[in-house]
Amino acid sequence: MADSGIQGIQAIQDTQDIQVRLRGALARILDLTVNQRMSVIVDSPPGAGKTELIVSVVWVLALRKKLRVAVVAPRVSQVYDLCRRLGSVGPPLSIQVLLASDRALPTDLSSNPVMLEPVSRARDIDPRARVVVGTVSKFFSALPDFSAGEFELLCCEEAYMSAYKDLAPLLKLGRTVMLVGDPGQLAPLVRVDTGPFESMETKVHWAAPRQLRLSFPWVPVVSLPASRRLCRDTVSIVQPAFYTSLPFVSAAPDATRRISFSAPSSGDAIDRALDLSAEGASIVALLLPGREVSSGGVDLEVATLMAEVATRVLARGAEWTGRRRIEPSHIGVMDAHVAGGASVRRALRALDISTEEVLVDTPERFQGLERLLTVVKHPMSGKRALSAFDLAADRWCVMLTRHLLCCLIIGREGIRETLEAHSHDCGERPLGAEDALWQGWFTHSTLWAELERLGRVVRM
């Protein structure tokens, strides 16, 4: 009792300490961007409050300093989300969205009084607009109509998803620039062979912050020290595997990240996995017997198991302890293959679970989203030979960092063996380039070994 009491006090102190550190990071960024008028790159772990940080900086500049700010994001959904958060402060802030002419603002935004009518051309921007928000590509196409230094600050959300070639031309818009992103997650998609460009002095196909750090080494980089979304257990697994150069801790007190079940466990493998999660294991793998599956991406048994796990979570009356009952809309299901996702949807419908509520999609679509509980398919499940797609670390990182409470990995036995037997490609990577495939393999191996060491692998 005494020990647990001390641990409790320690946990509170830790939490307070983390909050102080988070506040310190915010203060540092405000000092750099607002007081010192400096450009800054912010490296953030998943769920550290990137959007909140941008909102804070924008509010200070726009409302306190009465300056104009531009905010860009790679996707339109992120733009809408930014507008919702920025607009929550109400007038006198005025926000205008630079939007393709064939798009309309969602109704919740268009009805917000801080939102001005969206425009598709830069020259139509309302002079009253203190904050202009848009996608990187929309700003890019509108760029010739802007003048240099038109904004005090250019903010970029999810900057690691934008290539230098797309973002660099926008830099001139702001007198200073703030790039905020998660270095461990999905890299920008460049569809052509980038091998010939790896030897160039400026790697325009790289994620913008990565290249900017090389081009402008004097630009300060601030790392956010904690994740608000991920619990301590998840951070202890994910951080060493995916973020070797970005140390961070969890800002979520353990007591606020518990899952519990009202119905008793049947003792079968699915329930054992769920019971582990109730005991505080926030990442648990559940494996079917090993069997090679052709690489088409569809494994019906695994898809069925994923659906069964989601169903069981609901059937056992899962609850975010002390907060709320877990509903289908709190569950996210991820499969890296679209075809695999379709088979999971079918399996869910067969179990009377609405796929309108349970979001089933690829990690690409889940980037930036979070759910209380996620069910993800291990990309190496049933594989004998591993492709570059299977080995990619960024996609796997997204899959393992979307949950608040628990992530259940579903697959087939033999993952360690497949990783051990993998024959590394030694010839394809461009000369002098980093070996991303090795990095992916190493990350997968480290993470899986850790799960096995922690006894987090439940076999059917």
Partner 1 sequence: MSLKGARGIVAVSQNAGCELLAAMVSEQVEDLEFYTRLAGPYPGEYGERASTMRRGKQFERVLYAQKGSRRAFALCETLGPTFGYQPQAMRVLDMREIEGSSVLETADLRLRRTRQELQSLRRGEPVAHVILQPQLSLSVAPGDTRFVVPDALVLVTGVRPERQDMYMPLEIKSCIVCRNLADSSSKDRARRQAAVEVLALTQEARRYGLYERVRNRAAFVYATPRGLTPTPPFIEDLYAETAEVNRALTVLREAGNRLSELRRANPGPLESLTPQLQTNYIDRCKALCALASLCKQEAAPRAAVLGDSASAVLGSDTELSRLIELLQGAQPQSGYEAQLTPQLLEAAAGLGYLPAA
Partner 2 sequence: MSAMIDAVGRLLAWQQGSAVPIRATSALSEDPEGALGIAVVRLAGEERIQAIAVGPITGEPTISVSWNALDRNTRHLDALARTLDRYLRYSIASGQVPRLWTGAAALKCLELLAYRYRRNPNTNGRIRRLAALCGLLAHEACYPGQQVVVVAEDLLRAHVVTGQSADEDQHLGTLLAWLSPSPGTSALEEANRRALQPASGLLERLVDNRIERLRVSAKRQLRGGATKSRRRIRVQPAGKPSREVIEDLLREGVRREWDLLVEARRAFRGLRLPVSPGTKFLDRLSFDRMSYELGEDRSLPSRPHALSRYISELEHLLALVEGFDVRYDRCVRERKRAEGRVFMAEVVGVVQPRPNRKPCMLLLRTEQEILRVREGTRLQVLDARVDGRVTVVRSTGQPGEALVELELKRGVRERDRPPLGARVDLADTVLLDTMVRQRQVYREMRIAPPTLLERKLTPPPSGADAPVAADLLDFLDDLRGMTPQ
| Contacting positions for partner 1 (CB under 8 A) | 195-200, 291-296, 298-300, 384-385, 387, 423-432, 434-435, 437-438, 441-442
385 binds, options partner 2, partner 1, none, Cβ within 5 to 8 A by partner type: partner 1
Shortest CB 259 distance to partner 2, Å: 28
Shortest CB 165 distance to partner 1, Å: 17
Residues belonging to the chain: 460
**Cα–Cα distance measured from residue 112 to residue 91, given in angstroms and rounded to the nearest whole number:** 10
Q: Which of 21, 84, 272, 384 binds partner 2 (CB under 8 A)?
A: 21
Q: Which of 3, 5, 64, 453 binds partner 2 (CB under 8 A)?
A: 64
The SS3 assignment for 228 reads coil
300 binds, options partner 1, partner 2, none, Cβ within 5 to 8 A by partner type: partner 1
Enumerate the β-bridge partners of residue 249: 226
70, 86 in Cβ contact below 8 A?
no
444 binds, options partner 2, partner 1, none, Cβ within 5 to 8 A by partner type: none
Shortest CB 352 distance to partner 1, Å: 25
* Per rule CB under 8 A, count of chain residues that contact partner 2: 70
| Position 433 contacts partner 2 (CB under 8 A) | no
Which residue, chain included where needed, has tokens 């393709």? Answer: 100
187, 158 in Cβ contact below 8 A?
no
127 binds, options partner 1, partner 2, none, Cβ within 5 to 8 A by partner type: none
List, as one string, the DSSP characters of 363-430. Answer: HHHHTT--EEEEEEE-TTTT-SS--HHHH-HHHHHHHTTSEEEEEEEEEES-HHHHHHHPPPP-SSSP
Q: Which is nearer to partner 1, 91 or 196 (CB)?
A: 196
Q: How many C-beta neighbours within 10 Å does residue 426 have? A: 9
Shortest CB 449 distance to partner 1, Å: 15
**Chain-centroid distance, C-alpha 412:** 25
45, 246 in Cβ contact below 8 A?
yes
Shortest CB 451 distance to partner 2, Å: 29
Q: Which of 143, 300, 388, 421 binds partner 2 (CB under 8 A)?
A: 143
Binding segment for partner 2 (CB under 8 A), chosen from 114-122, 193-201, 244-252, 452-460, is 193-201
Instruction: Supply φ then ψ for residue 93, to 5 degrees.
Output: -65, 140
| Position 84 contacts partner 2 (CB under 8 A) | no
Q: Which DSSP category does 32 fall into?
A: I
Runs of H (alpha helix) within 60-135: 76-87, 107-110
Shortest CB 61 distance to partner 1, Å: 40
**Cα–Cα distance measured from residue 422 to residue 435, given in angstroms and rounded to the nearest whole number:** 15
Q: Which is nearer to partner 1, 76 or 460 (CB)?
A: 460
| Position 76 contacts partner 2 (CB under 8 A) | yes
2 binds, options partner 2, partner 1, none, Cβ within 5 to 8 A by partner type: none
**Mode of pairing for the β-strands spanning 283-288 and 403-412:** parallel
Enumerate the β-bridge partners of residue 133: 71, 97
Q: Which two tokens stand for residue 243?
A: 């973020």
| Position 351 contacts partner 2 (CB under 8 A) | no
397, 237 in Cβ contact below 8 A?
no
Is the N-terminal amide bond of 92 cis, ω within 30° of 0?
Answer: yes
Give me the 147-186 binding string for partner 2, x by CB under 8 A, dash otherwise: -x---------------xx--xx-xx----x---------
Binding segment for partner 2 (CB under 8 A), chosen from 8-16, 265-273, 346-354, 431-439, is 346-354
| Position 60 contacts partner 2 (CB under 8 A) | yes
Could you give the angle at the alpha carbon of 308 between the alpha carbons of 305 and 313, nearest 5°? 130
State the residues that interact with partner 2 by CB under 8 A.
20-21, 23-24, 26-28, 30-32, 34-39, 56, 59-60, 63-64, 76-77, 89, 102-103, 137, 140-141, 143-144, 148, 164-165, 168-169, 171-172, 177, 190-192, 194, 197, 200-202, 204-205, 212, 215-216, 218-220, 294-296, 338-339, 342-343, 345-346, 349-350, 354-356, 365
